[in-house]
Structure 1
Amino acid sequence: MSAAPRTYPGVRADAPLVVFDFDHTLYDGDSGTHLFAWLVKRQWWRRALALLLAPVFAPLIAFLPTRRRGISAFVWAGSLGMRGVADFNAAIDRYVALHADEIRGRLLPIALDVLHRHREAGDQVVVATGAPPELARAILAFVAHEDVPVVGTEVVPRLGGVGPRRHCHHAMKMVMLRQAGFTAPVAMAYTDSSADLPLLQAAARPVVVNPKPSRVAMFRRLLPAGTPILNWGCPGRAGDPVT
């Protein structure tokens, strides 16, 4: 059973909207990939199915226009036999509970401190992630003891398993934030990903955290001069160290 969430003051009436990405921002790694690998590895026949799918679908993950299709195949392999989204979410909760210590080690303390400061200030904080929302919610609730709202990739029943309906990624992330009720101008946005340029460019104060080294020049070129590019303790990633 999870511990009680932290207690924060209420969100101020005039609170700025602060958006955090999840993977490589609050969490060291790709949380969805870790979940899907566990789902696939649970039974030998799922592993065999994933191997059959890999030659066609794995290469698609490397490219933004086809990423959703590539990921969908492995989500389906891991979820085949589930009766719907409720079963999928229950499997996510089980995965997080079974791997709580490992996941806790992947949460970035500097990132959580920044999130805590925003919530303590009464800011309107939301996590917007390409992972399934239940995954980020479960990690934040069960492991970090945070009840922060999450907007993420929507999944629906598909061919005996589940698959993504809308991927919370690139420009769609802003669309889904607005549709979820987060309609105020984005005051601050924290993310590592070049796919989140629409979010960073919408923010009054964008902050790039833990970027890939190859993306730093692009961020400096496309974002306002002086945009912080920080490393919050994510090994192998670029950015000015924060102590």
Structure 2
Amino acid sequence: MAIESAAEDPAASAAARVVLFDFDGVIVRGDSFTAFMRWHLRRSWWRLALCILLLPLLAPFCLVKRLRIRILGVFVRIALLGIDNERFERLLDVFVVDWVGRPRIFIRAGIRELRRHMQAGDRVIVVSGCEERLLRRIFDAIGLTGIELIGSRLREGRLGLRKDVHNVGRTKPQQLAAYGIEPPWDVAYSDSAHDIPMLKAAREAVLVNAGVETVRRVERALNVAPRRVDWF
């Protein structure tokens, strides 16, 4: 886990305000790991063909909310068949060079706010469902090094990489706690109602570019209107 990039002074880190940022939809547009998966599948015809063959069989199950993540996990497993850690990291290197150079990938206001908190001496932690090594490469590519990251993680299996930790929903506070970061945190930024567990534990919850339904769900869960921002 990339949380080892924390501030070098433990006392200073403990005294700083803790500010959490989601990644997809807050720092970048869209879903960065999904973008990597699509890029990888387009480069591997047999994996893409297998996904297309299974799509009509599995798509109806995506209508069941509790099964949706599992079905998506099947396609991730197919995309990563035969891929070990070394090859995965080589793929990330190639993907990130191409991806970060595309127009309108980054939400500039989100990056400015992240930098502002860092300059204010806050302890900034990006807590994302994106795979952790991909997160690190994206931040390194744009010159934002030394940021603490907690993301999803993959592990090697007999058939290739598979899910180890899927860092979404209730898992985010659990992963924070595993690294000694206990609630309440001072500020949490997110664009999604999936982050209600993280937002609920914040002294100040901030919704980024959130739609009406997301705002309604978060307000109901928090019993208070979160701060809302529109970032471009």
The Cα shift of 1:146 comes to 3.4
Unaligned runs of 5+ in 1: 1-7, 234-243
CA distance in 1, matches of 2:111, 2:57: 38
CA distance in 1, matches of 2:60, 2:142: 33
The Cα shift of 1:193 comes to 0.9
Q: Is the counterpart of residue 148 in structure 1 residue 151 in structure 2?
A: no
Partner residue of 1:175? Answer: 174
Q: For residues 103-126 of structure 1, what are the alpha-carbon distances to aligned partners after superposition, in whole Å with 9 as ceiling and x for unaligned?
A: x63111100010001100111111
Partner residue of 2:185? Answer: 186
The residue matched to 2:163 in structure 1 has which SS?
strand
59-68 vs 13-22, which deviates more? Answer: 59-68
- The letter of the residue matching 1:69 is R
Q: For residues 177-234 of structure 1, what are the alpha-carbon distances to aligned partners after superposition, in whole Å with 9 as ceiling and x for unaligned?
A: 111333363111000111110000000111111223322222223225342122212x
- The letter of the residue matching 2:38 is A
The two structures have a TM-score, normalised by structure 2, of 0.87
Partner residue of 1:96? Answer: 96
Q: For residues 144-198 of structure 1, what are the alpha-carbon distances to aligned partners after superposition, in whole Å with 9 as ceiling and x for unaligned?
A: 5333121111211235221212210111111011113333631110001111100
Partner residue of 1:25? Answer: 26
CA distance in 1, matches of 2:33, 2:151: 11
The Cα shift of 1:81 comes to 1.9
Q: Is the counterpart of residue 55 in structure 1 residue 70 in structure 2?
A: no
CA distance in 1, matches of 2:185, 2:213: 26
Q: For residues 31-78 of structure 1, what are the alpha-carbon distances to aligned partners after superposition, in whole Å with 9 as ceiling and x for unaligned?
A: 111111111111211110111232344455565532432222222222
The two structures have a TM-score, normalised by structure 1, of 0.83
Conserved in 2, the CA contact under 8 Å of 1:17 and 1:184?
A: no
RMSD of aligned alpha carbons: 2.3
Q: How many residues align?
A: 224
